[in-house]
Amino acid sequence: MSEVHELKLLWPNEDATLDFAQKLALEPGLSNACVALVGDLGAGKTTFVRALLRALGVSGTIKSPTYALLESYQLERLGQKWEISHMDFYRFTDPSQWEESGFRDVFVSAGLKLYEWPEKVASLLPKADLEIMIQVSADGSREVTLRYNPLTFLFDKCAGQVTK
């Protein structure tokens, strides 16, 4: 079992969020990854997912899954169908709701899983391959901590990198 790597980034504005989303979109390990997005309301989790989906080639409206809990997308990657699931667990008050809503099926299926508020159902989720923690600074910039499996993601030379 490999250790978790940590990388700190600074996103001064939304353009920096977009830049990182474009970088992540190129990571080959993304195809079946579990990507957890952690941060307060308004931190920029959905903004980031939107930017990533756009970078991957999703066109049309990208809705926040705040109410529907799950928004699904189908793309093609390397000639194969590719399923992407964007979830938001904010409204869960009891982990049993997660089971009842059928999310276990999403997590055992192939595809990219992007999910906001993992802490609401923490014990039920598999270990994330990548956790993106976003904190808003007093000046509105975002301090971002990536925790990732180095066998899945490389993150070579990230713009806005604070420390290694």
Of ligand ADP, Mg ion, none, which one sits near residue 44, judging by CB under 5 to 8 A according to partner kind?
ligand ADP
**By CB under 6 A, residue 140 contacts ligand ADP:** yes
Of 155, 64, 61, 56, nearest in space to 112 by CA: 56
3-state secondary structure of 71: strand
Q: Kindly indicate which of the ranges 5-13, 44-52, 105-113, 123-131 contains the residues binding Mg ion, using the contact rule CB under 5 A.
A: 44-52
Is residue 156 within 8 Å of residue 7, measured between CB atoms?
Answer: no
Binding span for ligand ADP by CB under 6 A among 44-52, 54-62, 78-86, 150-158? 44-52
Region of 79 (left: φ > 0; alpha: ψ -120 to 50; beta: rest) is left
Residue whose C-alpha is closest to residue 151's, from 125, 127, 117, 124: 127
Q: Which of 19, 33, 36, 44 binds ligand ADP (CB under 6 A)?
A: 44
120 binds ligand ADP (CB under 6 A): no
Contact in structure between 85 and 72 (CB atoms under 8 Å):
yes
Amino acid 9 reads: L
Span from 71-79, 109-117, 126-134, 139-147 in contact with Mg ion (CB under 5 A)? 109-117
Q: Determine if 142 is a binding residue for ligand ADP (CB under 6 A).
A: yes
Q: Which residues are at the interface with ligand ADP (CB under 6 A)?
A: 11, 13-14, 16-17, 39, 41-47, 116, 140, 142
Q: Which residues are at the interface with Mg ion (CB under 5 A)?
A: 45-46, 116
